[in-house]
Amino acid sequence: MSLARRNLFQDKTRLALSIGGVGLAITLILILKGFLAGMNQQITSYLDHSPGTIVVAEEDVVNLLGAVSLIPDGTKQKAENIRGVDQVIPILSQFIILDLHEKKQPAYMIGYDPREGGGPWQLVVGREPSSKEEMVLDRVLADRHGLRIGDQVEVMGKDFTVVGLSSGTTSWMTSFFFIRKRDAEALLLNPGATSFLLLTTTKDADTERILQRLHDFSGVNALTKQTMAANDLKLFAKIFSAPLKLMVGISFLVGTMMVGLIIYTATVERQREYGVIKAIGAKNRFLYQIVLTQAVFASIAGSSLGVLLANGAAQWIMTARPQFLIIFDPGDSAQALLAGLGMALLAAIFPTRVVANLAPAEVFRK
């Protein structure tokens, strides 16, 4: 469609600006989605990496990162006696607000016994806590606040010494940090308390039956780690889905408008030319094709630019603010192109009507 191409390229600045606008809109959509994907990964990272396949929580608690959970005393011993259960790892955990450099940092505290497990799964430097008031902090969080091994962090009034830095334990909203279970009990003024039990099972154990047995205990709820992780994801999805959809919707509209503007001006400015073409005998369909081709080209170019920009922007964001994780799926690029096409089709509607209503007689008017 060389007429379409020629018209579109005739004004490079205009084309560049329009493609740029579409690109930015697509970039935003991609970044929002990648951000959500990254966050989902971060949210479930503890459950993904902690030992065990079953989690025992307080009755009616189905999330790790939701309600506060405290299980009745003696549950650990009872669980250990179930056939098929190999290890029972207790943790005491809760959301805490850390005050770091005048900034409030929500953090999820995990009190665990380093001999039993349930602590950080990847230490980049240092070691696990071995004596009173030691902690392992996430390395990204530590970097953001210039904290290093040996520094003190105040948790609920007590000073903890950073003895290790972990990775894979942060998100933009919150971070995991690890202390000894006994220290957590002291902080929460609740000696012997346990939030969750992480159960590992023997090789040929019957998970269903174990869950059944656990359900018989009073005051507890047992679920597979996968289920719990899925629940956490659902919880966070709820928080973000409405605002996210709003932003994505707005971006899509903006992209459409950009394409619309360029196609509209290209069409309206060419009314005379198109009128001539009509007078010569070309059917409307021919002109529709021109409009559509221009729209499709502008949006595909914009979408491609958007994909590139999104990758670049994501890299830049993650470097500047490492607590953000933005993950792109190969499917995302395909979706971006589709979104671009969607914009093209919508944007072409009005100019197509303009073209359809053009009277061929335009040409002979002065």
Q: Is 306 in the site for other proteins (CB under 8 A)?
A: no
- Residue from 246, 334, 349, 361 in contact with other proteins (CB under 8 A): 246
Short-list 274, 323, 267, CA closest to 295: 267
- Residue from 12, 189, 191, 208 in contact with other proteins (CB under 8 A): 189
Q: Is 327 in the site for other proteins (CB under 8 A)?
A: no
Instruction: Copy the structure tokens of residue 98.
Output: 């850390």
Q: Is 17 in the site for other proteins (CB under 8 A)?
A: yes
Q: Is 105 in the site for other proteins (CB under 8 A)?
A: yes
Q: Is 365 in the site for other proteins (CB under 8 A)?
A: no
> Which residues ranging from 113 to 142 are in contact with other proteins (CB under 8 A)?
none
Query: 203-210, long-range: CB within 8 Å, 24+ apart, which pairs?
Result: 205/83, 205/84, 205/85, 205/86, 206/84, 207/53, 207/54, 207/84, 209/84, 210/54, 210/82, 210/83, 210/84, 210/85
Short-list 265, 256, 253, 252, CA closest to 15: 265
Phi, psi (degrees; rounded to nearest 5) at 69: -120, 135
- Residue from 179, 229, 258, 358 in contact with other proteins (CB under 8 A): 258
Comparing CB distances to other proteins, the nearer of 154 and 206 is 154
> Which residues ranging from 29 to 48 are in contact with other proteins (CB under 8 A)?
31
Q: How far is CA 300 from CA 261, 334, 346, 347, 358, in A?
A: 16, 11, 14, 13, 28
Q: Residues in the site for other proteins, rule: CB under 8 A?
A: 11, 13-14, 17-18, 20-21, 24-25, 27-28, 31, 59-63, 66-68, 70, 94-97, 99, 103-106, 154, 156-158, 172-173, 188-190, 219, 235, 238-239, 242-243, 246-247, 250-251, 253-254, 257-258, 260-262, 264-265, 268-269, 317, 321, 323-324, 350, 366
